[in-house]
Amino acid sequence: MLPAVTRFFHPVLPSRELSKGEAVVTLAGRRYGLSRGRSEVGARALGDAPPARVCERYGYLWLGDEALPASAEPAIDDEGFEHVGCFGARFEAPLHVAFDNFSEDEHTPWVHHFLGWREADLSRLDFRSENHPDRTEVRYSAPQRPSVWTPALLLLPGDHFHNQWVTRFDPVRTVYTLHWFDPKTRRPRPVVSRFAIYFVPETAGRTWLHTFAMARLEPASLRFLMPVVRRVVPFLGRNEVGDDARWIPNVAGTPFSFEGMRLGRFDAPLVHNHHLLETLYWQASMG
Amino acid sequence: MASPATVGHKVVTHRTLPLVGALHAPDAPWPAVPLRKLGGRPVKVELAGVPFAVWRDAKGALGAVLDRCPHRFAPLSAGRIRPDGRLACGYHGWHFDARGQGVSPSQPGLTGCSVPSVMAFERFGWVWLAARDAPPGGELFDTEPLPFVTSWEAWVPRRLSAVLATLDQCPALDLLRARLGWDRSAAAGVRCAREASPEGFVERWEGTLDRALAWPARVPEGTSFRYERSFREVPLRATLRLSWPGRPEVVRAELFPVPEGPSSTRVVVFLFAKVASAALPWALRGRIPALLGAFTADPGQRRLTPSADDEPAFAVRFPALVQSRAALRALAARVPTGVDQTPKPWTGYKTFEVVERREETATMVTLRLRPRDGSALPSYLPGQHVTVRVTLPDGARAVRCYSLSRAPSEDGYQLTVQRTTRDGRPGLVSCYLHDHAREGTTAELRSPSGRFVLAPGALPVALVAGGVGLTPLLAMAQGLANTGAQRPCTLLLGFHSLSQVPFRETLEALCRAHRWLRVVLCLSDGALPEDSPFTCVAGRITPDVLLAHVPAEAEFHLCGPAAMLAALTPALLDRGIPPERLHSEAFGPASVVALRAGAPPAATVTFARSGLQVPWDGHTSSLVELARNHGITIPTGCCVGSCTTCMTKVLAGSVEYRQAPGEAVPEGQCLVCIAVPRGDLTLDW
């Protein structure tokens, strides 16, 4: 059985999926019944699960300990962004495997089909990462690969893709901020998107990724295009996460320890993340 | 610091995984996959529980590597074949040639990206896998050249031993024998004899046909027949041969029972025939679907389960067959049938208990440990080590690595610890284990790991140890003995005197039992024993001594103090030993050698954010270890300066590296896992 994780609020179900009646969700192997009353949503612990309560934020139902104060309720770093959609994706793999996949972009040319760069542009890849006691910060930058979708994001051929993210562990989540820029002038393109992805362990072998998509358009004169962006950004986000979900069963058996792996420089955040995963999130040795 | 420490030490060779175990014997090819199944994508094949990715490039060249990318363990069979014929991992694009040499496209300078590979070749429409150094497989069945007719395979949900023990009851063979030899009603008139041979054994069944045969030739009733069934261990196969004395026709089937996993076996059959009419092989080929149908018609494979009721009758009528079954059971026990049933490595630490303590010499003690929770232990490769964490009497915890000093055994892990001192100071953990470890004492162990293991292949083996460096090499020698491969092996050991040589009885027993093993003792005190089962030489191990006792074409495995390796390695390279045949592991403070040469005798290292100033006196292997010794945990990954996990900002001062970093280190940063200070140093940690 996984250690209990309800000392943090975790997103467990899109609000739209509990319009009425009851739904059963599983968090770290513990089952809860969620039901919507006239004014609020209630949580009922099933089996041996400890009591929990639900709050509703950002179009999702979030589950946490019954005693968690209101100050512990989730707050997504969305300043300056508009929420444009949210969705869940099931990963048939343990938390650390799904999480590792989202802790590096090295796999982009092989697993993904739109965002990121081509194998041919690897020599132009710029990568930075920083390890901190409570988080990791990572940046990737490289030429955006050609795609039929680039016009929808107001990109021009040759633009560079920039993905910058911060991962925290209360609960496990990463906020990715993606933008594009002209490599000659360094001027950013109008669309900036942000995805806050929460990594939620359902069981020891299955993880849900709940994603909150955000976007902004600059300058203000282009805001009339926002209806297009509202559709394109979540669509692309869902596709990219779907690419990862399709690949992940191939590596689902990867051990938590990196013993024996030939890690490279892009894996530096993963090692630190595992340390923080153990000490900050699980607060228990996985051994 | 105690005996063979491996954390942070560089390794060796890419051919380090248990492929030889999967292949059973270095020169034994296995039929792996029909060539027709290889299209534009790699195919996964499992042999004895070890997965291989097999592929054929556009030009038809074959490749086979362990189906696990060395980077993040993605299955290479889920990858793709590049236009240049290399196999690319589907995750991060690392790509490999047929010899397993790998490249990370995102980090082209990264070394050590290779994956273990085996030899793949095509014969009779199948891809065969064999150890890299095996002889070419073009003459697999050259004892009696017969025209090849066809091949087929059947998957049997039984372990190899069950399939071998009852191969004579296989429905397809029954059918073949009944059509071409005799049926059960005629069995009373059949004679059976058995002969052992160095390679296995042969059974001969002779009798007279009680009916006429229509194919593969018109053979009248009353003709005598001969049915021979032979088994060979290397490569593991059964040969079934039917003939009719005085007639030219011969039908021969070669059956390869291939262990797939612990509970399944693939039986691959190659059919050969010599008949009077050129059309008849085609007639035989037409019969194959019927034979195959008979093979698979019994989904439960009940007939592959030995029937206890049949045994007494068989024993009376055909005692030779019962002997054969016993021989087959023994043979099956020697063939690896898969690793899935074995316990899996654990993560983190597991609590063990000392169950036996044995004094080897005045300064070496052997401890046998078992898990306190009674759980079964995963196996390991001879040469690997475990990380041991102990709680010292003052409550502090300390961690060291020790090689496992014997081949895998079911009764626990065995470590041999040398009491060490460095510059007059007692080794923290080794002295604790010497002074305090008794039956019932607990210690925490991580799962066995390490890449310093026996190089696979058929080449002779040189195991060269200085002092307690013997421990992983002894395990390798025992491991070689357990495989039964009879690979020539020389164990060359350097000690000060005979009294310091541990495991003398074990070594003597090994030498007595295995003529392919030779032990050479180099005793630096010059006092050679008059009567010793070993070859004894006065003096230290030198390149001349080494090459006088070991053939130059051997795979060299060196384990000992850094000074020994520093002396031997360049000398061997100078004498033409290629680096890929030099496998080494240092123990002890390997970095101190470099440090003493270039670093000042003392410096102060400041960990700025921790507000800690500590002295550096050259006794610590790296800045990471220094930090750890003072309660600062800096996250590390590879510990060999490649992954950059430990990249730390240098606020003042400079560092030098005890080995070249795998990556360019930005100005103002350093990789603390391999760095030592050049003088006073301030780190941002």
Residues A58 and A166 in one domain: no
Residues A25 and A96 in one domain: no
The tens digit of pLDDT for each residue in B417-470 reads: 999 876 567 888 899 999 999 988 989 888 887 778 888 777 899 999 999 999
In a domain, A139, yes or no: yes
Q: Max CA-CA distance within chain B?
A: 100
C-alpha B230/C-alpha B221 separation (Å) is 26
The tens digit of pLDDT for each residue in B344-364 reads: 777 777 889 999 999 999 999
Inter-chain residue contact A110 with B90, CB threshold 8 Å: yes
CATH number of the domain residue A52 falls in: 2.20.25
- Number of folded domains that form chain A: 2
Inter-chain residue contact B92 with A110, CB threshold 8 Å: yes
Residues B292 and B403 in one domain: no
Inter-chain residue contact B645 with A286, CB threshold 8 Å: no
Interface test with A, best of B6, B65, B89, B91 (most A CBs within 10 A): B91
Q: Is A60 exposed, middle or buried (0-12, 13-18, 19+ CB in 10 A)?
A: buried
Residues B188 and B126 in one domain: no
Nearest to B643 among A100, A254, A268 (CB): A268
In a domain, A179, yes or no: yes
In a domain, B484, yes or no: no
Q: In terms of CA atoms, which chain B residue is nearest residue A104?
A: B92
Q: In terms of CA atoms, which chain B residue is nearest residue A265?
A: B643
In B, which residues are within 8 Å of A134 by CB distance?
none
Inter-chain residue contact A262 with B71, CB threshold 8 Å: yes
In A, which residues are within 8 Å of B350 by CB distance?
287
Nearest to A251 among B74, B636, B647 (CB): B74
Token pair 């040969």: residue: B239
Nearest to B73 among A106, A261, A272 (CB): A261
In a domain, A241, yes or no: yes
Q: In terms of CA atoms, which chain B residue is nearest residue A122?
A: B106
Terminus-to-terminus CA distance in chain B, angstroms?
25
Residues B174 and B122 in one domain: no
Residues A26 and A113 in one domain: no
Pick from B116, B108, B88: which is nearest to B15 by CA?
B116
Q: What is the pLDDT of residue B18?
A: 44
Q: What is the pLDDT of residue B449?
A: 77
Residues B306 and B162 in one domain: yes
> Which range marks the domain in which residue A36 is found?
10-72
Residues A50 and A150 in one domain: no
Residues B241 and B368 in one domain: no
Lowest mean pLDDT: which of A125-134, B111-120, B131-140? Answer: B131-140
Residues A24 and A137 in one domain: no
Please say which residue of B411, B445, B479 terminates a domain: B445
Q: Interface pTM (ipTM) of the complex?
A: 0.95
Interfacial residues of B (vs A; Cβ cutoff 8 Å):
70-75, 78, 88-93, 104-107, 110, 112-113, 345-350, 446-447, 449, 451, 635-638, 642-645, 647, 663
In a domain, B625, yes or no: yes
Residues B163 and B123 in one domain: no
**Cβ atoms of residues A41 and A56 within 8 Å:** yes
**H/E element, A81:** none
- Number of folded domains that form chain B: 4
Inter-chain residue contact B113 with A262, CB threshold 8 Å: yes
Residues A55 and A100 in one domain: no
pLDDT value at B58 more than 80: yes
Inter-chain residue contact A262 with B637, CB threshold 8 Å: no
The tens digit of pLDDT for each residue in B521-552 reads: 999 998 888 888 899 999 999 989 999 999 98
Residues B323 and B370 in one domain: no
In a domain, B610, yes or no: yes
In a domain, B361, yes or no: yes
**CA distance, residue B375 to nearest chain A CA (Å):** 14
Q: What is the pLDDT of residue B75?
A: 97
Residues A92 and A66 in one domain: no
CATH number of the domain residue B220 falls in: 3.30.530.20
DSSP code at position B343: P
**CA distance, residue B636 to nearest chain A CA (Å):** 7
Q: What is the pLDDT of residue B633?
A: 78
Beta-bridged to residue B491, according to DSSP, are B463, B519
Residues A16 and A91 in one domain: no
Terminus-to-terminus CA distance in chain A, angstroms?
13
pLDDT tier for residue B327 given thresholds of 50, 70 and 90: low
In a domain, A77, yes or no: no
Residues B304 and B169 in one domain: yes
Q: What is the pLDDT of residue B556?
A: 94
Pick from A38, A78, A31: which is nearest to A57 by CA?
A78
Inter-chain residue contact B92 with A106, CB threshold 8 Å: yes
Residues A116 and A245 in one domain: yes
User: Mean pLDDT over residues B667-676, rounded?
Assistant: 88
Q: What is the pLDDT of residue A16?
A: 92
pLDDT value at B190 more than 80: no
In B, which residues are within 8 Å of A246 by CB distance?
none
Pick from A59, A5, A33, A27: which is nearest to A42 by CA?
A33
Please say which residue of B421, B445, B469 terminates a domain: B445
Nearest to B347 among A110, A119, A286 (CB): A286
Phi, psi (deg, nearest 5) at residue A26 = -125, 130
Token pair 């009696």: residue: B144
The tens digit of pLDDT for each residue in B546-588 reads: 999 999 899 999 998 878 888 898 889 898 888 888 888 766 4
In a domain, B84, yes or no: yes
C-alpha A273/C-alpha B637 separation (Å) is 11
C-alpha A13/C-alpha B661 separation (Å) is 47
Nearest to B110 among A119, A264, A272 (CB): A264
In B, which residues are within 8 Å of A264 by CB distance?
71, 104, 106-107, 110, 642-643
Pick from B36, B20, B237, B37: which is nearest to B129 by CA?
B20
The tens digit of pLDDT for each residue in B266-309 reads: 888 888 888 766 555 555 555 554 554 444 444 334 343 334 34
In a domain, A4, yes or no: no
User: Mean pLDDT over residues A132-160, rounded?
Assistant: 94
Interfacial residues of A (vs B; Cβ cutoff 8 Å):
100, 106-107, 109-111, 119, 122, 125, 131, 247, 250-251, 253-268, 271-272, 275, 285-287
Please say which residue of A72, A95, A125 terminates a domain: A72
In A, which residues are within 8 Å of B73 by CB distance?
251, 253-255, 260-261
In a domain, A1, yes or no: no
In B, which residues are within 8 Å of A258 by CB distance?
637
Nearest to A258 among B105, B451, B637 (CB): B637
Structure tokens at B395: 């409550």
Q: What is the pLDDT of residue A199?
A: 98
User: Mean pLDDT over residues A121-131, rounded?
Assistant: 94
The tens digit of pLDDT for each residue in A19-58 reads: 877 899 999 999 999 998 877 889 999 988 999 999 999 9
In B, which residues are within 8 Å of A286 by CB distance?
347-348
Token pair 């906020």: residue: A175
pLDDT value at B88 more than 80: yes
Beta-bridged to residue B400, according to DSSP, are B388
Max mean pLDDT range (B90-104, B231-245, B517-531): B90-104
Inter-chain residue contact B74 with A250, CB threshold 8 Å: yes
Strands annotated E in B619-679:
647-652, 655-657, 669-671, 675-677
Residues A24 and A91 in one domain: no
Residues B358 and B412 in one domain: yes
Report the relative pairing of strands B413-418 and B364-371 from DSSP bridges.
Answer: antiparallel
In A, which residues are within 8 Å of B92 by CB distance?
106-107, 110
Q: What is the pLDDT of residue A235?
A: 95
Inter-chain residue contact B91 with A119, CB threshold 8 Å: no
Residues B169 and B107 in one domain: no
Q: Is A213 exposed, middle or buried (0-12, 13-18, 19+ CB in 10 A)?
A: buried
Phi, psi (deg, nearest 5) at residue B185 = -65, -25
Q: Cis omega (within 30 of 0) on the bond before B157? A: no
Pick from B610, B590, B583, B602: which is nearest to B685 by CA?
B610
Residues B263 and B192 in one domain: yes
Q: Is A19 exposed, middle or buried (0-12, 13-18, 19+ CB in 10 A)?
A: exposed
In a domain, A235, yes or no: yes
CATH number of the domain residue B671 falls in: 3.10.20.30
Q: In terms of CA atoms, which chain A residue is nearest residue B636?
A: A271
In a domain, B61, yes or no: yes
Q: In terms of CA atoms, which chain A residue is nearest residue B610?
A: A133
Residues A91 and A216 in one domain: yes
C-alpha A59/C-alpha B408 separation (Å) is 56
In a domain, B525, yes or no: no
Report the relative pairing of strands A52-57 and B461-466 from DSSP bridges.
Answer: unpaired
Residues A95 and A51 in one domain: no
C-alpha B384/C-alpha B18 separation (Å) is 12
| Phi-psi region at B450: left, alpha or beta (left = phi > 0; alpha = psi -120 to 50) | left
Please say which residue of A51, A72, A93 terminates a domain: A72
> Which range marks the domain in which residue B105 is found?
19-130
CATH number of the domain residue A177 falls in: 3.90.380.10
Please say which residue of B334, B363, B385 terminates a domain: B334
Q: In terms of CA atoms, which chain B residue is nearest residue A243?
A: B91
